[in-house]
C-alpha cells in the first residue's frame, strides 16, 4: 500500500487541528488593550500547542519519509495518533480558559502522554512492517527522545498537584527538546 494518502490525510487533520485552535480566542467586543488581557493565558496555551503540533507534523514527516510503504496496522496506529492530537484543541482551550489551573494542566499532560504513546506505537508498527534491518529501524533506533518525553510528562502530571507552574515549565521543556528536528533519520538517509 502506498504511503501517499496516509500522509495527505494526516496533513489535512493536523492542519485543521493546528488552525481551529485559534477559534478559541474569542474576539472581544471592546477595542482597547484591556480587552486583550484576559486572552493572554489562552494565547500562551495556543502558542504552546501550536509548537507541539508543529513538532508532531515535523516528526511525522521525517518518519514517513523513511517509510517505503504502509499496511493496515500502520493506518490504524496513525488514526490512533490523530485521535489524541484531535483532543489537543479541547485541553488547550480548557487550560487557557482557566489560567493554567491544576486539573486542566493534568489533562493537558494526559493528552500529550497518550499522543506520545500513540506516536511510539506508530513507530513500532512501521518498524515491524519494514523489518529490523530496514532504513527506518536503523534511523529511529531506540527512540530515546520519545521515551524520555513520556517520563517528563509523568513527572509534570505528578508535580502539577504540588505546584502548577512546574508542570507548565516541563511542558515547555519537552517542546524545546523536540524543536531540534529529528536528525537521526536525516543523518541515516544521507549516509
Least separation in angstroms between CB 164 and a copy of itself = 10
Cα 127 to chain center, whole Å? Answer: 20
Cα 9 to chain center, whole Å? Answer: 16
CA 2 to CA 100: how far, in whole Å? 42
CA 149 to CA 182: how far, in whole Å? 14
- Is residue 108 near a copy of itself by the rule CB under 8 A? no
Task: Tell which one of 17, 125, 156, 174 touches a copy of itself (CB under 8 A).
Answer: 17
Least separation in angstroms between CB 177 and a copy of itself = 15
CA 66 to CA 182: how far, in whole Å? 12
- Is residue 87 near a copy of itself by the rule CB under 8 A? yes
Rg, C-alpha atoms of the chain: 18
First-to-final CA distance of the chain: 27
Task: Tell which one of 94, 120, 150, 188 touches a copy of itself (CB under 8 A).
Answer: 94
Site string for a copy of itself, 117-136 (x = CB under 8 A): --------------------
CA-closest candidate to residue 80, choices 51, 120, 109: 120
User: In this chain, which stretch among 64-72, 116-124, 139-147, 148-156 interacts with a copy of itself, using CB under 8 A?
Assistant: 64-72
Task: Tell which one of 41, 44, 54, 146 touches a copy of itself (CB under 8 A).
Answer: 54
Asked if residue 65 lies in contact with residue 106, where contact means CB atoms within 8 angstroms, the answer is no
Closer CB to a copy of itself, residue 101 or residue 150? 101
- Is residue 13 near a copy of itself by the rule CB under 8 A? yes
CA-closest candidate to residue 69, choices 13, 14, 134, 161: 134
Contact residues: a copy of itself, CB under 8 A: 1-2, 5-9, 11-20, 22-25, 27-33, 36, 47, 50, 54, 57-58, 61, 64-65, 71-72, 75-76, 79, 82-83, 86-87, 89-90, 93-94, 97-98, 101-104, 107, 179, 181, 183, 186
Amino acid at each position: 500500500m502506498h504511503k501517499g494518502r496516509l500522509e495527505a490525510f494526516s496533513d489535512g487533520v493536523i492542519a485543521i487541528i493546528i488552525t481551529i485552535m485559534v477559534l478559541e480566542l474569542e474576539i472581544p467586543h471592546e477595542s482597547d488593550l484591556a480587552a486583550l488581557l484576559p486572552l493572554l493565558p489562552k494565547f500562551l496555551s495556543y502558542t504552546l500547542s501550536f509548537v507541539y503540533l508543529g513538532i508532531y507534523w515535523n516528526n511525522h514527516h521525517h518518519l514517513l519519509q523513511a517509510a517505503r510503504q504502509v499496511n493496515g496496522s500502520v493506518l490504524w496506529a496513525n488514526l490512533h495518533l490523530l485521535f489524541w492530537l484531535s483532543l489537543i484543541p479541547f485541553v488547550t482551550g480548557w487550560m487557557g480558559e482557566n489560567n493554567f489551573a491544576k486539573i486542566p494542566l493534568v489533562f493537558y499532560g494526559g493528552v500529550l502522554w497518550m499522543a506520545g504513546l500513540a506516536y511510539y506505537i506508530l513507530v513500532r508498527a512501521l518498524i515491524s512492517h519494514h523489518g529490523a534491518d530496514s532504513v527506518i529501524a536503523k534511523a529511529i533506533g531506540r527512540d530515546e527522545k520519545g521515551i524520555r518525553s513520556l517520563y517528563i510528562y509523568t513527572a509534570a502530571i505528578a508535580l502539577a498537584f504540588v505546584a502548577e507552574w512546574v508542570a507548565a515549565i516541563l511542558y515547555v521543556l519537552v517542546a524545546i527538546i523536540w524543536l531540534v528536528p529529528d536528525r537521526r533519520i536525516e543523518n541515516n538517509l544521507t549516509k
